[in-house]
Structure 1
Protein backbone atom coordinates (compact mmCIF):
# COMPACT_ATOMS: atom_id res chain seq x y z
CA UNK A 1 0.00 0.00 0.00
CA UNK A 2 1.55 3.36 -1.01
CA UNK A 3 2.42 5.82 1.74
CA UNK A 4 -0.17 8.55 2.19
CA UNK A 5 0.79 11.72 4.01
CA UNK A 6 -1.56 12.49 6.89
CA UNK A 7 -3.17 15.86 7.49
CA UNK A 8 -1.17 16.21 10.68
CA UNK A 9 2.05 15.66 8.76
CA UNK A 10 1.04 18.22 6.13
CA UNK A 11 0.31 20.77 8.81
CA UNK A 12 3.66 20.11 10.48
CA UNK A 13 5.47 20.60 7.19
CA UNK A 14 3.54 23.79 6.47
CA UNK A 15 4.43 25.19 9.90
CA UNK A 16 8.10 24.33 9.42
CA UNK A 17 8.12 25.98 5.99
CA UNK A 18 6.46 29.10 7.35
CA UNK A 19 8.93 29.24 10.24
CA UNK A 20 11.82 29.10 7.76
CA UNK A 21 10.27 31.93 5.73
CA UNK A 22 9.66 34.04 8.84
CA UNK A 23 13.22 33.58 10.10
CA UNK A 24 14.64 34.40 6.69
CA UNK A 25 12.51 37.54 6.57
CA UNK A 26 13.85 38.54 9.99
CA UNK A 27 17.43 38.03 8.81
CA UNK A 28 16.85 40.15 5.71
CA UNK A 29 15.14 42.90 7.73
CA UNK A 30 18.15 42.98 10.04
CA UNK A 31 20.99 42.89 7.54
CA UNK A 32 19.77 42.36 4.01
CA UNK A 33 19.95 39.25 1.85
CA UNK A 34 23.72 39.25 2.23
CA UNK A 35 23.38 38.45 5.94
CA UNK A 36 20.74 35.75 5.49
CA UNK A 37 23.00 32.70 5.57
CA UNK A 38 21.42 29.26 5.43
CA UNK A 39 23.21 28.07 8.57
CA UNK A 40 21.86 31.02 10.53
CA UNK A 41 18.37 30.62 9.13
CA UNK A 42 18.41 26.94 10.08
CA UNK A 43 19.52 27.77 13.62
CA UNK A 44 16.82 30.39 14.06
CA UNK A 45 14.21 28.05 12.58
CA UNK A 46 15.40 25.21 14.82
CA UNK A 47 15.77 22.83 11.89
CA UNK A 48 18.69 21.10 10.22
CA UNK A 49 20.22 22.80 7.20
CA UNK A 50 19.10 19.91 5.03
CA UNK A 51 15.49 20.46 6.12
CA UNK A 52 15.50 23.85 4.42
CA UNK A 53 16.35 22.19 1.13
CA UNK A 54 13.43 19.80 1.54
CA UNK A 55 11.12 22.83 1.48
CA UNK A 56 13.03 24.93 -1.07
CA UNK A 57 15.06 23.65 -4.00
CA UNK A 58 17.77 26.24 -3.44
CA UNK A 59 18.81 29.29 -1.44
CA UNK A 60 17.68 31.41 -4.38
CA UNK A 61 14.19 29.87 -4.28
CA UNK A 62 13.91 30.65 -0.57
CA UNK A 63 15.05 34.24 -1.09
CA UNK A 64 12.66 34.69 -4.02
CA UNK A 65 9.76 33.53 -1.84
CA UNK A 66 10.72 35.95 0.93
CA UNK A 67 11.12 38.77 -1.59
CA UNK A 68 7.65 38.05 -3.02
CA UNK A 69 6.01 38.13 0.37
CA UNK A 70 7.84 41.22 1.58
CA UNK A 71 7.20 43.19 -1.59
CA UNK A 72 3.56 42.14 -1.79
CA UNK A 73 3.04 43.77 1.61
CA UNK A 74 4.34 47.05 0.20
CA UNK A 75 2.29 46.75 -2.99
CA UNK A 76 -0.81 46.16 -0.86
CA UNK A 77 -0.08 49.33 1.15
CA UNK A 78 0.20 51.36 -2.04
CA UNK A 79 -3.06 49.85 -3.29
CA UNK A 80 -4.76 50.77 0.00
CA UNK A 81 -3.51 54.35 -0.32
CA UNK A 82 -4.84 54.57 -3.87
CA UNK A 83 -8.23 53.36 -2.66
CA UNK A 84 -8.74 56.28 -0.27
CA UNK A 85 -10.95 59.32 -0.91
CA UNK A 86 -10.00 62.23 -3.13
CA UNK A 87 -9.23 62.80 -6.77
CA UNK A 88 -6.47 60.94 -8.57
CA UNK A 89 -3.76 63.48 -7.72
CA UNK A 90 -4.59 63.34 -4.02
CA UNK A 91 -4.56 59.55 -3.97
CA UNK A 92 -1.38 59.29 -6.03
CA UNK A 93 0.41 61.70 -3.71
CA UNK A 94 -0.83 59.70 -0.73
CA UNK A 95 0.37 56.43 -2.27
CA UNK A 96 3.81 57.82 -3.17
CA UNK A 97 4.19 59.23 0.34
CA UNK A 98 3.18 55.86 1.80
CA UNK A 99 5.87 54.16 -0.29
CA UNK A 100 8.60 56.63 0.70
CA UNK A 101 7.73 56.86 4.40
CA UNK A 102 7.55 53.09 4.84
CA UNK A 103 10.93 52.77 3.14
CA UNK A 104 12.49 55.36 5.45
CA UNK A 105 11.02 53.64 8.52
CA UNK A 106 12.44 50.25 7.50
CA UNK A 107 15.63 51.16 5.62
CA UNK A 108 17.34 47.77 5.66
CA UNK A 109 14.39 45.86 4.26
CA UNK A 110 13.60 48.68 1.83
CA UNK A 111 17.18 48.67 0.52
CA UNK A 112 17.00 44.91 0.12
CA UNK A 113 13.79 45.15 -1.90
CA UNK A 114 14.76 48.18 -3.98
CA UNK A 115 18.46 48.06 -4.70
CA UNK A 116 20.53 45.37 -2.99
CA UNK A 117 22.46 43.22 -5.49
CA UNK A 118 20.60 39.90 -5.57
CA UNK A 119 20.52 36.57 -7.37
CA UNK A 120 18.84 36.39 -10.80
CA UNK A 121 15.70 34.71 -9.44
CA UNK A 122 15.22 37.50 -6.92
CA UNK A 123 15.95 40.14 -9.56
CA UNK A 124 13.17 38.65 -11.68
CA UNK A 125 10.80 39.15 -8.76
CA UNK A 126 12.00 42.72 -8.38
CA UNK A 127 11.12 43.46 -12.00
CA UNK A 128 7.74 41.79 -11.59
CA UNK A 129 6.86 43.92 -8.60
CA UNK A 130 8.09 47.13 -10.15
CA UNK A 131 5.55 46.37 -12.85
CA UNK A 132 2.90 45.78 -10.18
CA UNK A 133 3.53 49.24 -8.73
CA UNK A 134 3.46 50.76 -12.22
CA UNK A 135 0.13 49.09 -12.99
CA UNK A 136 -1.43 50.59 -9.86
CA UNK A 137 -0.13 54.06 -10.68
CA UNK A 138 -1.19 53.73 -14.31
CA UNK A 139 -4.80 53.05 -13.37
CA UNK A 140 -4.88 56.13 -11.14
CA UNK A 141 -3.25 58.29 -13.80
CA UNK A 142 -5.78 57.18 -16.41
CA UNK A 143 -8.57 58.05 -14.00
CA UNK A 144 -7.01 61.48 -13.42
CA UNK A 145 -6.75 62.12 -17.16
CA UNK A 146 -10.38 61.10 -17.58
CA UNK A 147 -11.42 63.47 -14.77
CA UNK A 148 -9.26 66.35 -16.07
CA UNK A 149 -7.15 66.62 -12.92
CA UNK A 150 -4.07 65.22 -14.68
CA UNK A 151 -2.91 66.47 -18.11
CA UNK A 152 -3.24 64.09 -21.04
CA UNK A 153 -0.13 61.90 -21.31
CA UNK A 154 1.10 58.36 -21.84
CA UNK A 155 -0.16 56.85 -18.59
CA UNK A 156 1.88 53.69 -19.00
CA UNK A 157 5.13 55.59 -19.48
CA UNK A 158 4.36 58.07 -16.70
CA UNK A 159 3.62 55.31 -14.22
CA UNK A 160 6.93 53.63 -15.01
CA UNK A 161 8.70 56.97 -14.52
CA UNK A 162 7.06 57.39 -11.11
CA UNK A 163 8.29 53.99 -9.95
CA UNK A 164 11.80 54.70 -11.20
CA UNK A 165 11.93 58.18 -9.72
CA UNK A 166 10.81 57.28 -6.23
CA UNK A 167 12.91 54.11 -6.07
CA UNK A 168 16.10 55.76 -7.33
CA UNK A 169 15.59 58.77 -5.06
CA UNK A 170 15.65 56.46 -2.06
CA UNK A 171 18.71 54.40 -3.04
CA UNK A 172 21.26 56.82 -1.59
CA UNK A 173 19.49 57.50 1.73
CA UNK A 174 18.76 53.80 2.23
CA UNK A 175 22.24 52.59 1.28
CA UNK A 176 24.09 50.58 3.95
CA UNK A 177 27.02 52.94 3.31
CA UNK A 178 25.02 55.57 5.17
CA UNK A 179 24.77 53.41 8.26
CA UNK A 180 28.30 52.00 7.93
CA UNK A 181 29.63 55.55 7.78
CA UNK A 182 27.57 56.46 10.86
CA UNK A 183 25.56 58.96 8.83
CA UNK A 184 22.44 59.77 10.80
CA UNK A 185 19.39 61.30 9.18
CA UNK A 186 17.30 63.37 11.56
CA UNK A 187 13.49 63.14 11.56
CA UNK A 188 13.42 66.62 10.04
CA UNK A 189 15.76 65.51 7.25
CA UNK A 190 13.60 62.44 6.62
CA UNK A 191 10.48 64.58 6.32
CA UNK A 192 12.25 67.00 4.00
CA UNK A 193 13.52 64.12 1.87
CA UNK A 194 10.05 62.59 1.50
CA UNK A 195 8.51 65.98 0.74
CA UNK A 196 11.16 66.67 -1.92
CA UNK A 197 10.62 63.30 -3.62
CA UNK A 198 6.84 63.66 -3.64
CA UNK A 199 7.04 67.24 -4.92
CA UNK A 200 9.25 66.17 -7.81
CA UNK A 201 6.99 63.26 -8.74
CA UNK A 202 3.78 65.25 -8.60
CA UNK A 203 5.19 68.22 -10.51
CA UNK A 204 6.41 65.89 -13.22
CA UNK A 205 3.02 64.21 -13.37
CA UNK A 206 0.79 67.27 -13.27
CA UNK A 207 3.07 70.02 -14.57
CA UNK A 208 2.11 72.26 -11.64
CA UNK A 209 4.04 73.40 -8.57
CA UNK A 210 2.87 73.02 -5.01
Structure 2
Protein backbone atom coordinates (compact mmCIF):
# COMPACT_ATOMS: atom_id res chain seq x y z
CA UNK A 1 0.00 0.00 0.00
CA UNK A 2 4.94 4.90 3.47
CA UNK A 3 9.58 5.46 7.75
CA UNK A 4 9.89 8.64 5.69
CA UNK A 5 11.20 8.09 8.74
CA UNK A 6 10.96 5.30 11.26
CA UNK A 7 7.55 3.83 12.05
CA UNK A 8 8.69 3.55 15.66
CA UNK A 9 9.47 7.25 15.91
CA UNK A 10 7.65 8.99 18.73
CA UNK A 11 4.49 10.83 17.87
CA UNK A 12 5.01 14.45 16.91
CA UNK A 13 8.70 13.98 16.05
CA UNK A 14 9.76 15.67 12.84
CA UNK A 15 10.31 13.37 9.89
CA UNK A 16 13.99 12.88 9.17
CA UNK A 17 16.14 11.11 6.59
CA UNK A 18 19.52 9.60 7.51
CA UNK A 19 22.54 11.46 6.16
CA UNK A 20 25.07 8.61 6.07
CA UNK A 21 23.40 6.64 3.27
CA UNK A 22 22.75 9.89 1.39
CA UNK A 23 26.43 10.86 1.56
CA UNK A 24 27.53 7.46 0.28
CA UNK A 25 25.08 7.66 -2.61
CA UNK A 26 26.01 11.23 -3.52
CA UNK A 27 29.69 10.37 -3.91
CA UNK A 28 28.80 8.33 -6.99
CA UNK A 29 27.60 11.49 -8.82
CA UNK A 30 29.79 14.08 -10.66
CA UNK A 31 30.55 17.11 -8.49
CA UNK A 32 28.05 19.47 -10.18
CA UNK A 33 25.25 16.93 -10.13
CA UNK A 34 26.13 16.05 -6.56
CA UNK A 35 25.86 19.66 -5.42
CA UNK A 36 22.50 20.02 -7.13
CA UNK A 37 21.25 16.82 -5.55
CA UNK A 38 22.47 17.90 -2.12
CA UNK A 39 20.75 21.28 -2.44
CA UNK A 40 17.50 19.64 -3.49
CA UNK A 41 17.72 17.26 -0.54
CA UNK A 42 18.31 20.16 1.86
CA UNK A 43 15.23 21.93 0.54
CA UNK A 44 13.11 18.81 0.95
CA UNK A 45 14.50 18.17 4.43
CA UNK A 46 13.73 21.74 5.46
CA UNK A 47 10.23 21.58 4.00
CA UNK A 48 9.54 18.34 5.83
CA UNK A 49 10.54 19.80 9.20
CA UNK A 50 8.57 22.99 8.62
CA UNK A 51 5.46 21.07 7.57
CA UNK A 52 5.77 19.00 10.75
CA UNK A 53 5.96 22.19 12.84
CA UNK A 54 3.48 24.47 11.03
CA UNK A 55 1.30 22.44 8.70
CA UNK A 56 1.34 22.20 4.92
CA UNK A 57 -0.45 25.42 4.01
CA UNK A 58 1.41 27.73 6.41
CA UNK A 59 4.95 27.15 5.10
CA UNK A 60 6.44 29.74 2.71
CA UNK A 61 9.24 29.40 0.16
CA UNK A 62 11.28 31.98 2.05
CA UNK A 63 11.05 29.91 5.25
CA UNK A 64 12.11 26.80 3.35
CA UNK A 65 15.16 28.42 1.73
CA UNK A 66 16.24 30.04 5.00
CA UNK A 67 15.96 26.75 6.89
CA UNK A 68 17.88 24.98 4.12
CA UNK A 69 20.49 27.79 3.95
CA UNK A 70 19.83 28.14 0.21
CA UNK A 71 19.36 31.36 -1.77
CA UNK A 72 15.73 32.21 -2.49
CA UNK A 73 16.31 32.24 -6.25
CA UNK A 74 18.01 28.83 -6.13
CA UNK A 75 14.70 27.30 -5.09
CA UNK A 76 13.44 27.65 -8.66
CA UNK A 77 16.43 25.73 -10.03
CA UNK A 78 14.89 22.68 -8.42
CA UNK A 79 11.13 23.26 -8.25
CA UNK A 80 8.66 25.29 -10.31
CA UNK A 81 6.66 26.29 -7.25
CA UNK A 82 6.01 25.49 -3.61
CA UNK A 83 3.23 23.17 -4.72
CA UNK A 84 5.64 21.41 -7.09
CA UNK A 85 8.08 20.86 -4.26
CA UNK A 86 5.35 19.48 -1.99
CA UNK A 87 4.30 17.15 -4.79
CA UNK A 88 7.87 15.82 -5.06
CA UNK A 89 8.04 15.46 -1.29
CA UNK A 90 4.75 13.58 -1.05
CA UNK A 91 5.60 11.30 -3.96
CA UNK A 92 8.91 10.42 -2.34
CA UNK A 93 7.33 9.79 1.07
CA UNK A 94 4.73 7.35 -0.26
CA UNK A 95 6.98 5.67 -2.82
CA UNK A 96 9.59 5.16 -0.13
CA UNK A 97 7.01 3.74 2.28
CA UNK A 98 5.71 1.39 -0.42
CA UNK A 99 9.28 0.11 -0.88
CA UNK A 100 9.53 -0.32 2.89
CA UNK A 101 6.37 -2.41 2.92
CA UNK A 102 7.73 -4.57 0.10
CA UNK A 103 10.83 -5.21 2.19
CA UNK A 104 8.80 -6.05 5.29
CA UNK A 105 6.52 -8.46 3.42
CA UNK A 106 9.24 -10.09 1.32
CA UNK A 107 9.19 -13.31 3.34
CA UNK A 108 5.40 -13.70 3.45
CA UNK A 109 3.77 -16.21 1.11
CA UNK A 110 0.09 -15.56 1.94
CA UNK A 111 -1.37 -12.59 0.00
CA UNK A 112 -3.87 -12.07 2.82
CA UNK A 113 -1.07 -11.64 5.37
CA UNK A 114 0.75 -9.25 3.02
CA UNK A 115 -2.35 -7.06 2.87
CA UNK A 116 -2.89 -7.26 6.63
CA UNK A 117 0.71 -6.33 7.41
CA UNK A 118 0.57 -3.40 4.99
CA UNK A 119 -2.65 -2.07 6.51
CA UNK A 120 -1.36 -2.38 10.06
CA UNK A 121 1.97 -0.70 9.34
CA UNK A 122 0.22 2.11 7.47
CA UNK A 123 -2.16 2.86 10.34
CA UNK A 124 0.51 2.60 13.01
CA UNK A 125 2.74 4.98 11.12
CA UNK A 126 -0.07 7.45 10.55
CA UNK A 127 -0.78 7.42 14.28
CA UNK A 128 2.83 7.71 15.43
CA UNK A 129 3.82 10.28 12.79
CA UNK A 130 0.81 12.62 12.58
CA UNK A 131 2.25 14.79 9.79
CA UNK A 132 2.76 11.72 7.62
CA UNK A 133 -0.75 10.57 8.52
CA UNK A 134 -2.27 13.92 7.58
CA UNK A 135 -0.54 13.83 4.21
CA UNK A 136 -1.79 10.28 3.67
CA UNK A 137 -5.37 11.34 4.42
CA UNK A 138 -5.09 14.34 2.12
CA UNK A 139 -3.48 12.50 -0.79
CA UNK A 140 -4.62 8.90 -0.35
CA UNK A 141 -7.40 8.96 -2.95
CA UNK A 142 -5.71 11.36 -5.37
CA UNK A 143 -4.94 10.10 -8.90
CA UNK A 144 -1.24 10.49 -8.09
CA UNK A 145 -1.44 8.23 -5.04
CA UNK A 146 -3.62 5.60 -6.73
CA UNK A 147 -1.52 5.42 -9.90
CA UNK A 148 1.84 4.82 -8.22
CA UNK A 149 3.52 3.99 -4.94
CA UNK A 150 1.08 2.75 -2.32
CA UNK A 151 -1.87 2.52 -4.71
CA UNK A 152 0.00 0.38 -7.21
CA UNK A 153 1.36 -1.91 -4.49
CA UNK A 154 -2.14 -2.48 -3.13
CA UNK A 155 -3.49 -3.19 -6.60
CA UNK A 156 -0.59 -5.58 -7.27
CA UNK A 157 -1.08 -7.44 -3.97
CA UNK A 158 -4.83 -7.71 -4.43
CA UNK A 159 -4.36 -8.98 -8.01
CA UNK A 160 -2.02 -11.63 -6.69
CA UNK A 161 -4.57 -12.74 -4.11
CA UNK A 162 -7.28 -12.91 -6.78
CA UNK A 163 -5.11 -14.85 -9.23
CA UNK A 164 -4.23 -17.36 -6.50
CA UNK A 165 -7.95 -17.61 -5.61
CA UNK A 166 -7.21 -16.39 -2.12
CA UNK A 167 -9.49 -13.40 -2.60
CA UNK A 168 -12.95 -13.32 -4.10
CA UNK A 169 -14.19 -9.90 -5.25
CA UNK A 170 -16.84 -8.72 -7.71
CA UNK A 171 -14.93 -5.66 -8.95
CA UNK A 172 -11.15 -5.45 -8.56
CA UNK A 173 -10.75 -1.69 -8.85
CA UNK A 174 -13.67 -0.88 -6.57
CA UNK A 175 -12.41 -3.32 -3.97
CA UNK A 176 -9.06 -1.51 -3.91
CA UNK A 177 -10.75 1.89 -3.66
CA UNK A 178 -12.96 0.66 -0.80
CA UNK A 179 -9.92 -0.71 1.00
CA UNK A 180 -8.07 2.60 0.59
CA UNK A 181 -11.13 4.42 1.93
CA UNK A 182 -11.26 2.10 4.95
CA UNK A 183 -7.59 2.71 5.76
CA UNK A 184 -7.89 6.48 5.31
CA UNK A 185 -10.98 6.56 7.50
CA UNK A 186 -9.16 4.55 10.14
CA UNK A 187 -6.17 6.88 10.02
CA UNK A 188 -8.41 9.94 10.34
CA UNK A 189 -10.23 8.44 13.33
CA UNK A 190 -6.99 7.54 15.09
CA UNK A 191 -5.47 10.98 14.57
CA UNK A 192 -8.63 12.64 15.87
CA UNK A 193 -8.66 10.48 18.98
CA UNK A 194 -4.97 11.10 19.59
CA UNK A 195 -5.39 14.86 19.28
CA UNK A 196 -8.35 14.90 21.66
CA UNK A 197 -6.72 12.77 24.33
CA UNK A 198 -5.63 14.88 27.33
CA UNK A 199 -3.84 12.00 28.99
CA UNK A 200 -1.75 10.86 26.02
CA UNK A 201 1.60 11.23 27.78
CA UNK A 202 0.60 9.48 31.00
CA UNK A 203 -1.27 6.71 29.19
CA UNK A 204 1.17 6.12 26.33
CA UNK A 205 1.45 2.36 26.92
CA UNK A 206 -2.32 2.01 27.05
CA UNK A 207 -2.71 4.08 23.88
CA UNK A 208 -0.07 2.08 22.04
CA UNK A 209 -1.87 -1.15 22.88
CA UNK A 210 -5.16 0.39 21.75
CA UNK A 211 -3.73 1.65 18.46
CA UNK A 212 -2.23 -1.76 17.68
CA UNK A 213 -5.57 -3.45 18.33
CA UNK A 214 -7.31 -0.84 16.18
CA UNK A 215 -4.87 -1.56 13.33
CA UNK A 216 -5.57 -5.28 13.70
CA UNK A 217 -9.33 -4.76 13.59
CA UNK A 218 -9.05 -2.57 10.50
CA UNK A 219 -6.86 -5.15 8.76
CA UNK A 220 -9.45 -7.83 9.55
CA UNK A 221 -12.21 -5.69 8.01
CA UNK A 222 -10.09 -5.19 4.89
CA UNK A 223 -9.52 -8.94 4.54
CA UNK A 224 -13.24 -9.58 4.87
CA UNK A 225 -13.76 -7.12 2.00
CA UNK A 226 -11.53 -9.42 -0.04
CA UNK A 227 -13.76 -12.40 0.74
CA UNK A 228 -12.20 -14.01 3.82
CA UNK A 229 -14.39 -15.16 6.70
CA UNK A 230 -14.41 -13.05 9.83
CA UNK A 231 -12.72 -15.76 11.91
CA UNK A 232 -9.88 -16.28 9.44
CA UNK A 233 -9.44 -12.55 8.80
CA UNK A 234 -9.13 -11.82 12.51
CA UNK A 235 -6.67 -14.67 12.98
CA UNK A 236 -4.41 -13.37 10.21
CA UNK A 237 -4.67 -9.78 11.43
CA UNK A 238 -3.43 -10.80 14.89
CA UNK A 239 -0.28 -12.52 13.68
CA UNK A 240 3.07 -11.07 14.89
CA UNK A 241 3.87 -7.94 12.91
CA UNK A 242 7.17 -7.98 10.97
CA UNK A 243 9.29 -4.93 11.76
CA UNK A 244 10.34 -2.19 9.35
CA UNK A 245 13.94 -1.38 8.30
CA UNK A 246 15.54 2.04 8.49
CA UNK A 247 14.34 4.56 5.88
CA UNK A 248 16.32 5.40 2.73
CA UNK A 249 17.52 8.93 2.13
CA UNK A 250 15.74 11.76 0.34
CA UNK A 251 16.20 11.89 -3.45
* TM class by smaller structure: 0.7 to 0.9
SS at match of 1:19: helix
CA separation in 1, counterparts of 2:70 and 2:141?
Answer: 27
Equivalent residue, structure 1, for 2:91: 68
Equivalent residue, structure 2, for 1:135: 152
Equivalent residue, structure 1, for 2:173: 156
**Following superposition of structure 1 onto structure 2, how do residues 35-114 of structure 1 map, counting pairs within 5 Å?**
35-114=58-137
Tell me: CA distance 1:124–1:158, structure 2 relative to 1, closer, same or farther (3 Å).
closer
> Is 1:20 paired with 2:20?
no
User: Given the alignment, which residue of 194, 213, 223 partners 1:202?
Assistant: 223
- Checking the alignment, whether the CA contact within 8 Å between 2:140 and 2:180 is kept in structure 1 is no
- Checking the alignment, whether the CA contact within 8 Å between 1:92 and 1:140 is kept in structure 2 is yes
Q: Where does structure 2 lack aligned partners over 5 or more consecutive residues? A: 1-29, 235-251
TM-score w.r.t. length of structure 1: 0.78
Equivalent residue, structure 2, for 1:167: 184
- Provide the alpha-carbon RMSD of the alignment: 2.7
Question: Structure 1 residue 182: deviation in Å?
Answer: 4.5
- Checking the alignment, whether the CA contact within 8 Å between 1:134 and 1:156 is kept in structure 2 is no
SS at match of 1:98: helix
- Checking the alignment, whether the CA contact within 8 Å between 1:81 and 1:98 is kept in structure 2 is no
Aligned residue pair count: 196
- Checking the alignment, whether the CA contact within 8 Å between 1:64 and 1:125 is kept in structure 2 is no
TM-score w.r.t. length of structure 2: 0.67
Question: Structure 1 residue 19: deviation in Å?
Answer: 1.0
Tell me: CA distance 1:61–1:179, structure 2 relative to 1, closer, same or farther (3 Å).
same
Question: Structure 1 residue 46: deviation in Å?
Answer: 0.9
Question: Structure 1 residue 20: deviation in Å?
Answer: 0.9
Bigger radius of gyration among the two: 1
75-84 or 49-58: bigger deviation: 75-84
CA separation in 2, counterparts of 1:86 and 1:138?
Answer: 17
SS at match of 2:133: helix
Provide, for residues 76-119 of structure 1, a one-character-per-residue CA deviation record: whole Å limited to 9, x for no partner: 2233344332211121111211211222221122212322xxxx
Equivalent residue, structure 2, for 1:4: none
Q: Going by fraction, where is helix more abundant, 1 or 2?
A: 1
Tell me: CA distance 1:194–1:31, structure 2 relative to 1, closer, same or farther (3 Å).
farther
SS at match of 1:83: helix
